[in-house]
A and B are shown apart, each in its own frame.
Chain A
């Protein structure tokens, strides 16, 4: 473990990313304490500029506190990112493992199915799903999961393809271990590192997707999210720039942090790759 941390630490960007991410988590966790009450409450006059009347980041067109919106929005954004990634991983890993381990006809069938999903532009597909199932938090998470699993399936399949003919797998087969047990205890742990790296990036893209949906008015109308804040501020940007700029910064920092962390994880989990890159730079 300390070895892992030492390798992770070597990537300074990754450490910065981790710090930002920790701050975002802290903001989300402390939101009810920092900004008690609902982020929808009209706390002051509309369009108060940042820093005035106790509004750190200004107020929006209904006099709602933008800072409270960002803090409470962080909870939803992180939650959507995490839940939809878990859901996408469970679909992607299952199908990828199935295809990669069994090969042959099963592999072909699963991969054609995956390609079918990959050919549909993911954002358009997500809009379509949310519009059909009416915008609620569960339909948004579902839509994001449905459009983000194909890359996972492909990565997992590739890992499984290369691992399934290794000696340790053959040894396990000779020992008479069941297929399920081989997949879960022998192959999967060895395929874990690319999955971990991929999932940190997936959280970032899920947050972006959710924000984009909310921006278009397809978010859950009962939940405050960053995308909603930007969408609501867009039309009055010449009147109140702070309504869209601060939530935009929040999304930018969070997504950047997740990408940096993903890179750090990749370095820490693939030491050889990291050393090569370090040497080249």
Chain B
């Protein structure tokens, strides 16, 4: 296994470059130097220093300036970035990264292995909870020479490489941060990275300007002269900016789903929902298993069968996204497409509930559950309204509650809800982004843990087996088994694999080339003439 993996990695270094060159040729367009790419950033981030801030807008903009050791293809295979190549020992504990030669920070200092060790062991270890949880598995992390980093883990951890993307662990300059308070160091306000674009100007509430890094380590790149992020708070103004061509690219939640159909009609625009494979957000009805009868798997199964997921995707999200099939999104590694939720079938759902001993009363209601809508915007309210009607068809009354975003997080974190809507990033691997919702060891009074309180020793054991194993085949077996088990148990009622549209002018090329989509360096993006 380890040998074949190494073999793949040796070829990985050249493959993406070839692919892109041939892609450009196929379109009949050679990359063109020059031009300004206007985009939007919504909402405006407080700082652009990745690590200090890890919210969506920062994760999208910062990788233009900061890079990770690796990046990931749309099938989540690692691709070289600041690491030219890497090897993994057969026992899955030792990782050796060989760094690119001649890489410089924006201030002219050379980028070395010392920066890598600092970024991993100090910077992200202190600032990022998600990185800390995984980097704690590191026994030693050392610079063998200025261009080689060796990491030894306490135990094998197969998804380890997924932590080396810029959004998870970007490389930051040791000489500007070491010995200072990372959150208040001067470099936080004027970011210094190794990326293809340098920070130039930020007029708060107006725009952020990044200019071409003339000394970028990839010869001839980047192609663009300037990237400008406009800050436009109103969603209809953002739509107009895209329609009028003031901005050439919109990303993430810049554009509301209900504006998508009109933008799809425009000949000069391309609407793309790829490029979120690394994050793969999955939405579900979050059930509190402490509330009867939600502890009954038959009830949860029937509720799941009462929902027409195609209606949700096509009518509410206007086709942006996919119906969920099981707890692991289809774009996350180890997804098993043979484990599928029971299909939409109202009659069968009613039969299950009748047999389970929940008869309808005179009003046709079997039982009433409170349902707290997700306060993230109108579309989530519409979703809850749809679900109320869907549940009504099988005799379950949803009593709606509304809250604000702060109260929602507090109430979910304190288990003070009966049902609500939730969505969570999967970060490429079930151990990183799926396990946390279902294992009983993670039942915590914290949002995005197993707040539902589902506990099943079999599920715990399978996730543990997958976590501890270094062999992909063994992990796949455990994950397949747990997916089959979970689609029968339906601990949470999965609804949809969310996607966020990237809408851009057709002249802008190479926008989405990896599983991280717009969260990449854009060093190969160009504007065709």
A residues touching B (Cβ–Cβ < 8 Å)? 38, 40-42, 46, 61-63, 131, 134-135, 217-218, 221-222, 232, 235-236, 238-239
Chain B contact-residue range equals 20 to 34
Q: Which residue of B lies closest to A135 (CB)?
A: B402
The answer to whether A62 and B399 touch across the interface, beta carbons within 8 angstroms, is no
Asked if B73 is at the interface (CB within 8 A of a chain A CB), the reply is no
Cβ–Cβ contact B388 & A40, under 8 A: yes
Which residues from A are CB-within-8-Å of B382? 61-62, 232
> Which secondary structure characterizes the binding site on chain A?
loop
Among B389, B403, B404, the residue within 8 A (CB) of A42 is B389
- Tally of A-B residue pairs with Cβ under 8 A? 48
Cα distance A200–B71 when bound, in Å? 67
B316 / chain A contacts, CB cutoff of 8 Å = 61-62
- The 0/1 profile, CB within 8 Å of A marked 1, for residues 315-330 of chain B is 1100000000000000
Q: How far is the CB of B353 from chain A (nearest CB, A)?
A: 20
Q: Is the CB of A62 within 8 A of B402?
A: no
- Known contacts A61-B315, A62-B385, A221 near B262 by CB under 8 Å: no
| Cβ-defined contact, A239 with B401, below 8 A | no
Q: Would A222 and B315 count as touching, CB distance under 8 A?
A: no
How far is B400's CA from A281's CA once the two chains are assembled, in angstroms? 53
**Distance in Å: Cβ of B108 to nearest Cβ of chain A:** 49
Q: Are B381 and A235 in contact (CB under 8 A)?
A: no
Flag whether B208 is at the interface (Cβ < 8 A). Answer: no
Residue among B256, B262, B400, B404 making CB contact with A222, cutoff 8 Å: B400
> Contacts A62-B315, A62-B385, A232-B382 given: A222-B399 contact, CB under 8 Å?
yes
Footprint of A on B, CB under 8 Å?
Answer: 256, 258, 261-262, 315-316, 373, 378, 381-382, 384-386, 388-389, 392, 399-404
Given A61-B315, A62-B315, A235-B378, 12 more A-B residue pairs with CB atoms under 8 Å apart are A40-B388, A42-B389, A61-B382, A62-B316, A62-B386, A62-B389, A131-B404, A135-B402, A217-B378, A218-B402, A239-B261, A239-B262
Known: A221-B373, A238-B262. A134 touches B315 (CB 8 A): no
Asked whether, in the complex, the Cβ of A221 is within 8 Å of the Cβ of B258, the reply is no
State A131–B375 Cα separation when bound (angstroms).
13
Q: Which residues of B contact A42 (CB under 8 A)?
A: 386, 389
Query: Please, which residues of chain A bring their CB within 8 A of the CB of B256?
Result: 235
- Chain A residues lying within 8 Å of B404, measured Cβ to Cβ, are 131
CB-contact partner of A46 in B315, B373, B403, under 8 A: B315
Residues of A within 8 A of B261 (CB): 239
How far is it, in angstroms, between the C-alpha of A62 and the C-alpha of B256 when the chains are bound?
17
Which 6 A/B pairs are nearest by Cβ-Cβ distance?
A221-B400, A221-B402, A236-B258, A46-B315, A222-B400, A135-B402
